[in-house]
Amino acid sequence: MSSGTASEQDKRALYWLGERLIDYRHPVMFVVLIITGVFAYWTFQLKLETSFGDLLPQSHPFVQVHNRYAGTFGGANNIQLMVESKEGDIFTVPTLTRIYQTTDEMDRVHGVNHNPIDSIGHRTTRYLRAQSGGFLKAEPVMLSVPKTAEDAASIRRIVHNTESIYGILVSLDDHAALVRANFIEARLDHRRTFTEINERVIAPFENGWIGALIKGPDPLHPEVPAPAIVETLYRGTAAADAGLRQGDTIVSVEGRPVKDRVALAGQIVKQPPGAAVTLGVKRAGGGEQVENVKLTIPERDLQVYVAGEPRLYGWVYSYATDVFWIFTVTWCAEWILRWLYFHDWRGALRPSITGVIAAFWGLGFVHLIGFALDPLILVMPFLVSARAVSHAIQMHDRYYEEFERHNWNQRKAIVAAFAELFVPTFAGVITDALGVLVIILVPVVMLQKLAVVISWWISAITVSEMLLNPIVYYYLRAPDPEVVLARDKGWYKAAINRLTDYNLSAFGKRFTLAFWLILAVIGAFMMQGLIVGDPTSASPLVWSDSPYNVSHAHIQDKFGGVEPLIVVAEGKDRDAMKDPQALRTMVKFQRFLERDPAVGYSFSLGDILRSVNMVFHELEPKWGVIPNTARDVGQTFFVFFANLPPTETAKYVDPSYTTAHVTFFCRNHKGDNVARIIKRCQEFIRDNPMEKANFR
C-alpha cells in the first residue's frame, strides 16, 4: 500500500467532506456569499474613531480619579496652541488682536470645554485691579481687542505683574503666548477638531493674514453667515498698501468666491509670500459693484504651533489614506511575488480571494458588535490578511503537488489537498485565534476589543480558506501541466530550495544556530536598557520631524512644560480648601516636585492667594504667603472670585471649596520621567498628610 493510499484511509472523513463540498457547491457558495455580502455591507458602515477612555485601564485608581474630575479640572484631552512672534514681542496691537481672536475661535471649536481655557485673551484669565476706596476687583486681562499702543502697553504691565500669567501663558522673553484648551471626551471628534483648528483658528491669523482684521461670525448667532468684511485695518500692512478700507467686503480671490473669513484665509494660504493676487472687493457704501484690488501676499510674521493628544490623533487620522495606499502597494508587490513563484495568475488570485473574504468577515464583525476602528490599530488588518494569504499559498502549493501526483486529475487533486492540509491548517488557525484572545486578560478596553475582533477575524479564515477552498478550485480552470512543472524549475523556487538545502547542511545547521544564538545574546543584553513607555519626548506615532513633533518641541522650549499632571486635593468636608495648613501643603508640594528636572512649573489655589496678598501690599514678594486663618483665606478668595459665576471658578476649586487641584506641567512624558515623578508624588503624599484633605 502506498503512502498516499494509507493517508487517504486515515483521513476518509476529510476526503468525504471534500467530495461533498464539491457536490453541494451551489448551496454552500450561496450561503457563504450571502453572509459575506452582509459583512461587506457592515464593513462600509465602519467609522474611524478613537475613544480616549478605551486606551486606559479603567480599573486603575489614577484613571478613576481622572474620570471623576475631568469635567471640572480638565482631563487628558488637552491642546496647547502657541502664537510666536517672529520679530519683536507680542505686545503690539495686531499681534494681541490675533491672540484674542485665536482664543475666541478656539472657544468655538466643536467639543471644547469652554471654561477651563487658559489664555490672556480668555474671559477666565483675570488679574487684580485696585479701585477707588481701596477695593480690589478681578477683571479679564483682555476685555476686547486692543485699539491703541497704550492698550497694548497696559496689557504688558498686567502680564508682567501677574504671577499666574507671566512665564505660564506668556513666555519670559515676551515673544510667545499660549492658549490651552481642554476637550470633552464624549464630544471629541478628532477629524472635526483637527479641521476646525486648521481652518478657523490657525489659517486666518497665520498664513492667511493679510494685515487686516476680518469680521467673524456673531457670537450670539454663529449659524448666520458673516461676509469677509474688513473690520480693522493696520498701518504698514499688505492690506493697507493694497488700498483696502475699513468696511470693505472681500467677495473673491483670483475670481474664486469667498463667503467668510475662513474661506478667505483658505484661498490666501494657497499663495506663496510675495505673490500678487486679485481681490474682488465691494467698497463700503458703494453698493453691489465689485472692484478689483491687487494685494501682495505678506511674509508670515507669526508662527502658530499646536500640540496635545487631540491634535496628535488628528494628524493620525489625516494619514489614514496613506495607510490605504501602503496596503495597496504592499498587496501588489506580494501579488508579483506569488506570480513569480507559481508562474500562473491563479496562484496570485486564489490567496487574494481568501484575504478579501476574511477581511470582510473581520471588519463587518467590528461593526456588528458596535465597535469602531481605531486608526492606531490599522496595522492589524495587515497582519491578519498576511496570515490568511499565508495559509492560502500553502494550500495552493499543495494543490499543485497533488495535481501532479494524481496524474493531472483536477477533482482528485482538489479533494486531496483539502483533506491533507485540513488538520494542520485548522490547528494553525485556531492556535492563532486563541493566542490572540489571551490579550483579553489585559484590563485595557481597546486591547480587549482588539482581542475579540482579531480572534474572530482569524477564525474566519477557516471559512474562506477551508470550506470554500475546494469550491473555488473547482470553478477555476485547472492549471496547465507545463505551468505546474515550471514552478519547480523557476529561479524563485530554485533560490528558496538552495537556501533551504544550505540551512540543512552540516555547516548550515551550525551557522544558523550560531547566528540566532548571537542574536539572542545581543537581544538579552539590549533588553537591559528597555524603557517602558515613550523613550523620547517626541511622539512615536509620527516621525520625529513631523509637524506635530516640531510644534511640541517648540512649545516645550518656550514654556518649559506642556504635559499636565493633575493631583486632586480632595477635602473631607466643605470649605476644606480654605484651611491654611492644606493650602501650605499644596504650595510645599509644588516646590518639592519643581525640583525635578522634568517638571517645568506648577499651579494651585495657593498661587492665587499669594498673588492677591502681594497686590494688597504693592506687589512686595515677601507678602506672597498664605494667610494664617481660614477666615482670612476666605476673605482673600472673595476678593478674587467675587462676581464670578461658578462656571469660571470651577477650574480652580469646586463651589463648596471642598476640592481643588495642583497641576504640574511636565517637560515630556518619557516613561522613566513619568515613573520617577509619580514615585516622588507618592513619597510627598505619604510624608505630608493633611488633616482636612487627601491627595488623589
Q: For residue range 38-69, what is the model confidence (pLDDT) as tens digits?
A: 999 998 888 777 776 777 788 888 888 888 88
**For residues 415-439, average pLDDT:** 87
Residue 566: inside a domain:
yes
pLDDT band at residue 354, thresholds of 50, 70 and 90? Answer: confident
Please state which of the ranges 75-84, 198-207, 319-328 shows the lowest mean pLDDT: 319-328
Please give the Cα distance from 406 to 396 (Å, whole number): 15
475 and 333, same domain (yes or no): yes
Query: Is residue 292 within 8 Å of residue 276, measured between CB atoms?
Result: no
* 84 bridge partner residues: 176, 303
474 and 339, same domain (yes or no): yes
325 and 279, same domain (yes or no): no
291 and 328, same domain (yes or no): no
284 and 328, same domain (yes or no): no
Q: What is the CATH classification number for the domain harbouring 437? A: 1.20.1640.10
Residue numbers of the domain that contains 260? 207-299
**For residues 523-552, average pLDDT:** 81
CB atoms within 10 A of CB 587: 20
Tell me the DSSP string of 92-143: SHHHHHHHHHHHHHHTTSTTEEEEEEE-TTSTT-EEEEE-TTS-EEEEES-S
Residue 154: inside a domain:
no
Residue 160: inside a domain:
no
Write out the H or E segment, with its range, that includes residue 669: none
**For residues 177-202, average pLDDT:** 90
pLDDT band at residue 1, thresholds of 50, 70 and 90? Answer: very low
347 and 465, same domain (yes or no): yes
* pLDDT, tens digit, 9 for 90 and up, residues 607-656: 888 888 777 777 777 777 888 898 888 888 888 777 777 777 777 888 88
Among 252-261, 318-327, 458-467, 537-546, top mean pLDDT goes to 252-261
Q: What is the mean pLDDT of the chain?
A: 85
Domain termination residue (choose one: 481, 499, 527): 481
Residue 464: inside a domain:
yes
Q: What is the CATH classification number for the domain harbouring 260? A: 2.30.42.10
> Residue type for 546, please?
S
Closest CA to 601 of 153, 180, 3, 266: 180
Between these two residues, 483 and 297, which has the higher pLDDT value? 297
pLDDT band at residue 8, thresholds of 50, 70 and 90? Answer: low
3-class DSSP state for residue 175?
Answer: coil
Among 65-69, 144-148, 218-222, top mean pLDDT goes to 144-148
245 and 358, same domain (yes or no): no
Task: State the total domains in the chain.
Answer: 3
Please give the Cα distance from 58 to 71 (Å, whole number): 17
Percent of the chain past pLDDT 70, that is, above it, reads 97
Residue 134: inside a domain:
no
Residue 687: inside a domain:
yes
DSSP state of 464: I
> Residue type for 564, please?
P
pLDDT at 4: 54
Surface-to-core class of residue 453, CB atoms within 10 Å of its CB (0-12 exposed, 13-18 middle, 19+ buried): buried
pLDDT at 313: 87
**For residues 273-295, average pLDDT:** 89
pLDDT at 473: 83
450 and 568, same domain (yes or no): no
**For residues 128-155, average pLDDT:** 84
The yes-or-no verdict on residue 6 having pLDDT over 60 is no
The yes-or-no verdict on residue 367 having pLDDT over 70 is yes
Residue 135: inside a domain:
no
330 and 465, same domain (yes or no): yes
Residue 338: inside a domain:
yes
221 and 336, same domain (yes or no): no
Domain termination residue (choose one: 447, 466, 481): 481
Please give the Cα distance from 575 to 20 (Å, whole number): 79
444 and 578, same domain (yes or no): no
pLDDT at 344: 77
Phi-psi map region of 287: left, alpha, beta (phi>0 left; psi -120 to 50 alpha): left
pLDDT at 134: 62
285 and 353, same domain (yes or no): no
Please give the Cα distance from 495 to 485 (Å, whole number): 16
pLDDT band at residue 7, thresholds of 50, 70 and 90? Answer: low
